[in-house]
Amino acid sequence: MQFQRVLIIGSGLLGASLGLRLRMLGVEVFLEDNSPMACSLARDLGAGVIASKDEDIRPDLVIVAVPPDVTPRVVCETLERFDDAIVTDVASVKKRIAEGVNGHSQAHRYIGSHPMAGRERSGAIAADADLFEGRPWVVCAGPTVPPDTVLAIQQLALEVGAMPVMLEPAEHDRAVALVSHVPQLVSSLVAGTLRGASAKDLGLAGQGLRDVTRIASSDSALWTSIIAGNSRFIAPILEDIGKGALDLAAALRQGEENPGAPGVTVNVAQVIKRGNDGVDRIPGKHGGAPERYTHVFVLIPDKPGELGRLFSDIRDIGANVEDFSLEHSVSQQVGRGEISVIPSAAKFLASGLEERGWQVFIEGGEQ
Amino acid sequence: MQFQRVLIIGSGLLGASLGLRLRMLGVEVFLEDNSPMACSLARDLGAGVIASKDEDIRPDLVIVAVPPDVTPRVVCETLERFDDAIVTDVASVKKRIAEGVNGHSQAHRYIGSHPMAGRERSGAIAADADLFEGRPWVVCAGPTVPPDTVLAIQQLALEVGAMPVMLEPAEHDRAVALVSHVPQLVSSLVAGTLRGASAKDLGLAGQGLRDVTRIASSDSALWTSIIAGNSRFIAPILEDIGKGALDLAAALRQGEENPGAPGVTVNVAQVIKRGNDGVDRIPGKHGGAPERYTHVFVLIPDKPGELGRLFSDIRDIGANVEDFSLEHSVSQQVGRGEISVIPSAAKFLASGLEERGWQVFIEGGEQ
């Protein structure tokens, strides 16, 4: 990789994770953060050394890993502070930042990045050198950036394990509004309705509610900055969903007053059907076309080592597991494992598990 | 169990699954369904025998497992058709059914049930004798039902592996609107926004979008009937969410026109914060208080047997896994496993895995 001295401004989840990874690659990493504590934590984790105020560190790359709202200012300051360093950022919005930087005389040294890696948890404390492994890394290059600089950032993405994807800033912002920002807000809105619920009501919660609301535990300060920075693309989609919810509620109230009115069922069926169509379009793992595996269900007693015994048995049987999910039961000591395998392997896996004493059921009923 | 001859009307997912389980318990099960094909399929899966029109089957229990909209009618017909059978149903709405049955002279033989078991897939083809294992089974008894009858249905729930929960019909409907019906509709609304998206945009989708939209692949006909039957409790929650989405969109548009207006950030932060509070109230597995485990992250190469090798190693190390989830990476051959263990076991597990060659990271950074 062409970068040997990297300054990372901001020691949050992304900054610290990049530091950890770059250190593993033998790159010299300097850290800066407004918060001395965050900076020390990142250093103690092994993400780099704290940049001294007096030292002339002469970085060849500066990664600005601060919240989206302050990113344009910090990028411009950085372009002025270092004469020849390439500057990138990691913010999850790109158009506003491009607008804030593109007029700058040194804009040809700035390339926008968005490594699409994140977690519900934030801060250096959650940092992970493998955070970027297999994730898309969006690269947005302005009109004056030389091809070599673009290549260097693409290579940086590859070196930390990510997949570079070239996008225009507006394309990027529109896409993430749809696949990330709006789902985040809606998950929060649904979770918000649970605040006043009784423990008895919440005891009826199943896996569906848990899935829909998982990302609602995300960090409030970070997401506020992200959402505010992409309001232009988020607002229309949120309006679509808001109007859809109110239309549906109106149809339901109408049906309440006038039972049997056809409007209700048509409206509800359409919402569900459109959802079916939309979810079918989400690509499967590794970014390929949506795939269909056969699902083998196994009942897993909740006692020490059972999950380990299951996987050890699967290994002995020799089946390649494409996906595995564990569904917890409420109020009882048992879990349901769903093992996804290619269809031709399902029967073989199921009979092998049965021989080893597991309660097994293949999707489709052919046990 | 006091029931020895059970008639199941309706051979869908729930009817067929109950048939399978009751047959395992040695109960004589008769099946009826408007669709001869669905009925034969359930029989072929082992859920019972097809009830002959001529035979006087004299059931001691009839389980009405038809869609919610036709359930009240079928329950009343069944009370008239059999002089002394106890009748229950499995519909996911309870108040409308109670209202439709309570006036009947034989209402003392009807008890409403809602086994809270379901899947995105439907029909006898997805049936599973273990479907009810560990799930809540809501029991709604009308004012004229003798205690012995209530006890018999509670025992039925326990025999099929479920946990009986006594609720008033309105209490039940309000709770499931909140924890099941509204999340379903909102998941469908979010998934619906993806219909027109490009493959490139959808390539940026991460685990968050997949989780929020997983239940959007549910069966449209069944859910239309469920939603229409609980409109009274769903409408106000849906309005809350719809208004919340529109308010937020309005604040975002205002911020777009007037950058830096404080309304935007306050509004967004409040939505995220309320979501944090709500999601924290969802109970952990087995219906206990929300639990906090330590998460150990492992990088899993996508080649045959790796997941099996991981679990076999975990077993050798001797750690008890509380939860496991696999996060797929887009565009690259690697997955991230998140292993949840009690905090005191995390370090032990992580060092054991590292010794065995895994790339491991403990949440909190103490690697």
pLDDT in tens, B97-130: 999 999 999 999 999 999 998 776 677 777 888 8
What phi and psi, each to the nearest 5 degrees, are found at residue B28?
A: -80, 125
pLDDT over 80 (residue B42): yes
pLDDT attached to residue A315: 84
For A216-253, what is each residue's pLDDT tens digit?
988 888 888 889 889 999 999 999 999 999 999 999 99
Q: How far apart are CA A356 and CA B265, in angstroms?
A: 56
Name every chain B residue with its beta carbon within 8 A of the beta carbon of A342: none
pLDDT at A15 over 70: yes
Q: Share the mean pLDDT of chain B.
A: 88
Q: What is the pLDDT of residue B366?
A: 34
User: Which H/E stretch holds residue B277?
Assistant: helix B262-280
pLDDT in tens, A282-317: 886 444 445 567 888 887 877 777 888 888 898 888
**CA–CA dist B194, A274 (Å, integer):** 9
Question: What local confidence, expressed as pLDDT, does residue B327 receive?
Answer: 61
What pLDDT score was predicted for residue B332?
A: 39
Cross-chain Cβ contact B286/A329 below 8 Å? yes
| Confidence grade of residue B276 (pLDDT, cut at 50, 70, 90) | very high
Q: Residue B302 in 3-state DSSP?
A: coil
pLDDT at B365 over 90: no
Position A294 scores a pLDDT of 80
User: Are residues A185 and A245 in contact, defined by beta-carbon separation less than 8 angstroms?
Assistant: no
- pLDDT at residue A10 tops 90: yes
Residue B275 has what pLDDT? 95
What is the percent of chain B with per-residue pLDDT over 70, rounded to a whole number? Answer: 92
Check A249 against B238: CB less than 8 A apart.
yes
Within 8 A of A195 by CB-CB distance, chain B residues are 274, 277-278, 281
Mean pLDDT of chain A: 88
Residue B243 scores a pLDDT above 90: yes
Q: Which of B241, B302, B333 sits opposite A189 (nearest CB)?
A: B241
Distance separating alpha carbons of residues B115 and B154, to the nearest angstrom: 11
Local structure of residue A125 (DSSP, 8 states):
G
Task: Find the angle CA(B304)-CA(A367)-CA(B323) to the nearest 5 degrees.
Answer: 50
Task: Give the separation between CA A319 and CA A324, rounded to whole angstroms.
Answer: 12
For chain A, what is the total number of helices (H) and then of strands (E)? 14, 12
Please give the residue that has the higher pLDDT: either B222 or B162: B162
**Under DSSP, is residue A175 helix (H, G, I), strand (E, B) or coil?**
helix
Q: Is the pLDDT of residue A332 over 50?
A: no
Q: What is the pTM of this model?
A: 0.75
pLDDT of residue B364: 52
pLDDT of res. B335: 66
Of B193, B238, B361, Cβ closest to residue A248: B238
Q: Which of B174, B238, B286 sits opposite A332 (nearest CB)?
A: B286
Residue A39 burial (C-beta neighbours within 10 Å; 0-12, 13-18, 19+)? buried
Chain centre to alpha carbon of residue B351: 37
Residue B339 near residue A332, CB atoms below 8 Å: no
Query: For the segment A250-284, what is each residue's pLDDT rounded down to a tens digit?
Result: 999 998 888 767 778 888 999 999 999 999 898 86
d(CA A321, CA A312) in angstroms, rounded, equals 12
ipTM score assigned to the predicted complex: 0.74
pLDDT of residue A367: 28
Q: Is A164 left (phi over 0), alpha (psi -120 to 50) or beta?
A: beta
Q: b or e along B302-319 (b: 16 or more beta carbons within 10 Å of the residue's beta carbon)?
A: beeebbbbbbbbbbebeb
Pair of tokens at residue A173: 């912002």
Q: Which residues of B touch A183 (CB under 8 A)?
A: 190, 208-209, 212-213
pLDDT of residue A365: 42
Using a CB-CB cut-off of 8 Å, the residues of chain B touching A248 are: 185, 189, 238, 242
Helix (H, G, I), strand (E, B) or coil at B125: helix
Nearest to A133 among B138, B245, B336 (CB): B336
Supply the DSSP string of B308-329, one letter for each residue.
Answer: HHHHHHHHHHT---SEEEEEEP
Residue in A225, A241, A137 with CA at minimum distance from that of residue A182: A241
Q: In the structure, what pLDDT confidence band is assigned to residue B279 with cuts at 50, 70 and 90?
A: very high
Query: CB–CB of B297 and A130 under 8 A?
Result: yes
Amino acid identity of residue B68, one-letter, is P
Res A76 pLDDT > 90: yes
**Which is more confident, B266 or B191?**
B191
Least CB–CB distance from A235: residue in B253, B319, B365: B253
* pLDDT tier, B286 (very low <50, low <70, confident <90, very high otherwise): very low
Q: Which helix (H) or strand (E) holds B155?
A: helix B147-159
| Stretch among A64-68, A353-357, B5-9, B131-135 having the lowest mean pLDDT | B131-135
Chain B contacts of A304, Cβ < 8 Å?
320
Residue A327: is it exposed, middle or buried by C-beta count within 10 angstroms (0-12/13-18/19+)? Answer: middle
Q: What percent of chain A has pLDDT over 70?
A: 92
Would you say residue B194 has pLDDT above 80? yes
Which residues of chain A does B212 touch, with a Cβ-Cβ cutoff of 8 Å? 183, 186-187, 211-212, 214-215
Q: Which amino acid is at A58?
A: R
Q: Which of A139, A190, A230, A256 to mutate to test the interface with B (most CBs of B within 10 A)?
A: A190
| Residue B21, pLDDT above cutoff 80 | yes
